[in-house]
């Protein structure tokens, strides 16, 4: 079933000029890019995006990091896109990520882990709506 998911190229990867490589990989794996934007989140905007994690011990540090520099947000479309993108990203902790995954290749730590992907259809809907209006998905 064709599905959409939200991807973020995080500040650590943008800063190290890895965005082009990651986007090339996304297209090479067969995803359609339905929307894409580069933006610099405020701390409040990062807190809103990661609201589901607000009770976690890493929330303050995570939202500080996510607002530390520009990110690139994308809506990706493919059959089974949520799982497909999460598989391509690899485990959250790069030490546990499989060879060839984005995080194995590009992440510096469990926090500075290069990319984000929605983890389920309801979070994908929230996350896509957080950054894009329906008319921007083309
Ligand atoms: P992400 O997939 O964007 O979802 C939540 C983020 O919190 C995660 O990637 C990491 O960047 C960050 N994070 C920091 N510490 C942890 C941790 N111990 N467990 C999970 N996520 C963490």
Tell me how far the alpha carbon of residue 92 lies from the centroid of ligand 1, in angstroms: 6
Q: Write down the pLDDT at residue 106.
A: 97
CB 113 within 8 A of CB 61: no
Specify whether 116 is catalytic: yes
Quick one: angle between helices 19-28 and 81-89, nearest 10?
A: 130
Tens of pLDDT, residue by residue over 40-77, are 999 999 999 999 999 999 999 999 999 999 999 999 99
Tell me which of 51, 96, 110, 114 to substitute to probe ligand 1's pocket, judged by most ligand atoms within 8 Å of the beta carbon: 110
Q: Whose CA is nearest to atom 11 of ligand 1?
A: 111
- pTM value > 0.95: yes
Rounded-to-integer distance, Cα 103 and Cα 3, Å: 22
């Amino acid at each position: 079933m064709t599905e959409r998911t939200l991807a973020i190229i995080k500040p650590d990867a943008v800063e190290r000029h890895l965005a082009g490589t990651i986007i090339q990989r996304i297209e090479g794996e067969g995803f359609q890019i339905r929307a894409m934007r580069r933006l610099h989140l405020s701390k409040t905007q990062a807190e809103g995006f990661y609201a589901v994690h607000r009770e976690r011990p890493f929330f303050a540090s995570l939202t500080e990091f996510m607002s530390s520099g520009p990110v690139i947000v994308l809506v990706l479309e493919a059959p089974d896109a949520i799982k497909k993108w999460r598989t391509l990203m690899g485990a959250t902790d790069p030490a546990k990520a499989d060879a060839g995954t984005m995080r194995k290749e590009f992440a510096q730590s469990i926090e500075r882990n290069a990319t984000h992907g929605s983890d389920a259809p309801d979070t994908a809907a929230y996350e896509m709506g957080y950054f894009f209006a329906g008319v921007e998905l083309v």
